Chains A and B, each alone.
Chain A
Amino acid sequence: MIQLKGISKSYKVAKRQTGLRQAAKALFRQEHTIVEALKDISFTINPGEIVGYIGPNGAGKSTTIKIMSGILVPDTGTCTIMGYTPWKDRTKYVKNIGVVFGQRSQLWWDVPVIDSFELLKDIYKVPQQEYKTTTDLLIETLELQEIIYSPVRQLSLGQRMRCEIAASLIHNPNILFLDEPTIGLDAVSKIAVRQFIKTINQEKGVTVILTTHDMNDIEALAERVILIGKGSLLYDGQLGELRKRFGTKKIITAEYKQRANPIQIPGASVLSWSPERAVLSVDTANFKTSDIITHLTTQVELVDVTIETQPIEDIIVQLYKEYQI
């Protein structure tokens, strides 16, 4: 459904040092650096998938989304989405996609949200009946009843974002690009947005590509992740696989009856220790958690044990480190 092959894009960025003298110099000669935003990116996405597109700031996530939605023209490479080349068949192609740019707004600032919806209905030539069913569903699942009659300028960020997402779906697109849809949202709104994305994916089979910095979004939604850093594709595969490969550490917190000496267990490194509590880290690739626990019981009189898997955030940080991005 979506196929990118060897996509590259570089930007020319004006640069100058701080200070008045440098500013004056820049009047006559401007220095530019070429920033390679994307280097030879290729991937394929099948219908009905939810793909998490992750990477640190400035990795090229938004650039990819912009190329896929036909806004940017890449320097080299081909991109075929539903048989179209986005930047060439722009007007025909965009009927099939919905885009949410978390940092931008598509709603008319001064008029109630519902008026913006009506305009979008006409722009996309959605039949009245279809429009009615779609908006009813959107209003219900995104809980917009209270807010669609208020002008956009009076909405909070979270309320506005829910409306933005709804606005991108009025024409029932087959593909939805979400560029940081949960930016600045509170916990409740985040969960509502995630739930909604899941619903439309399952019920309508919408293919979703999602960029975010909140790994909980990825964990809740995406089975497949694509990791990109400094413009290069670094990992493309199942989230579970990523976990298996990089998230093999488990954290064991043990509480026990008072004991004077530090504990020592082969295969586990002690992260912190006190006479009543110890935090251990175990690499499950080499050692079994159960063995560690057995060792623990021989050394101390256990009161309580908790075992945690490494949070996905840590795995990503570790990944970024490993790839030096």
Chain B
Amino acid sequence: MRVYLSVLKLRLLNGMQYRSAALAGVATQFFWGFMIIMVFQAFYQNAADTQPISLKELITYIWLQQAFLVFVTVWFRDSELFDLITSGNIAYELCRPCELYGFWFAKLLAQRLSSAILRCFPILIFSFFLPRPYNMTFPPSLSAFLLFLTALMLGLLLLVAISMFLYISVFITMSPMGSLLIFGILGEFFAGLIIPVPLMPSWLQNIANVLPFRWTADFPFRVYSGHIPQKEALIGIAIQLVYLLVLVWLGRVSMNRILRKVVVQGG
């Protein structure tokens, strides 16, 4: 446990060095958030039917998405790990008395947490003070908020478990680009980062429901806005847990299997 805390600490220290990157990130996400909200606003004004999610809920959804972007995007990756694999420096990682899966899981988690800490608060705070209808709103109740926090954290763990497969695949392909594109695009789409899941046609929603990606982003954000009622939220959290357990188990098994075949070349 201490190791993981220590990795987190080191990552935080490391992440703090890049303040201007964080600042630029915040600015970009603001711009992006506004753009998306305006698009949806136009869409809602001209739509004849009532939509399955209200504009107010959607705006909250989008601000949360922007604030926690590093929690929910697959493409936010640790190129250091890719380098470790392709350059062979992984030799050192293999000389450590801890299991590589857990160690890397901690590294990836820490990287996302450290980036999020610098980025989420400015966006969240600022978006509350925006003029209507662009502003972020409070969750309907304290219990909804607590459920949201749980779902968000589980979603984060789930996403890290998914992204581990990306790193495992690099052991075989030696290049992260292919898996990154596939995982990135599929993941982003089915997590509802391009079109919120409630606005998808129902057949697409069915697909999204089966895949794990939706549970990392769409689910916690809708729990926050109250669009998903609390009883359903509890079921959702159980589903998240099951996904997490299965994916971590699968990841560990495949990683340990691959490590037995890995050949660190040269040197």
Contact = CB atoms under 8 A, between A and B. Distances in A.
Interface stretch (B96-104, B119-127, B214-222): B96-104
Interface in B211-267: 260, 262-267
Interface residues of B, number: 29
A119 B6 contact: yes
Contact of B91 (A104, A125, A180): A104
Contact of B14 (A91, A104, A105, A108): A108
A91 B99 contact: yes
Nearest to B103: A123
Given A104-B91, A105-B89, A122-B6, A11 B267 contact: no
B75 to A, nearest CB: 21
A91 B103 CA distance: 12
B97 A72 contact: no
A123 B7 CA distance: 9
Contacts of B3: 122-123, 125
Nearest to A125: B2
Given A91-B99, A101-B267, A106 B7 contact: no
Interface string A86-129: 01001110110101011111101111000110110111110000
Q: Which has the most chain A C-beta neighbours within 10 Å: B2, B98, B263?
A: B263
B107 to A, nearest CB: 10
B4 to A, nearest CB: 9
Contacts of A105: 89, 92
A92 B89 contact: no
B267 A108 contact: no
A123 B6 contact: yes
Nearest to A106: B92
Contacts of A102: 267
Contacts of A116: 10
Interface string B1-41: 01101110010011001000000000000000000000000
Contacts of A268: none
22 contacts: A71-B264, A72-B264, A73-B260, A87-B260, A91-B99, A92-B97, A94-B95, A99-B92, A101-B91, A101-B92, A103-B267, A104-B87, A106-B92, A110-B14, A110-B17, A118-B10, A122-B2, A123-B6, A123-B96, A123-B98, A123-B103, A179-B267
Interface of A: 11, 62, 66, 69-73, 87, 90-92, 94-95, 97, 99, 101-106, 108-111, 115-116, 118-119, 121-125, 179-180
Given A87-B260, A90-B94, A124-B96, 5 more contacts: A97-B95, A99-B92, A104-B91, A104-B267, A111-B13
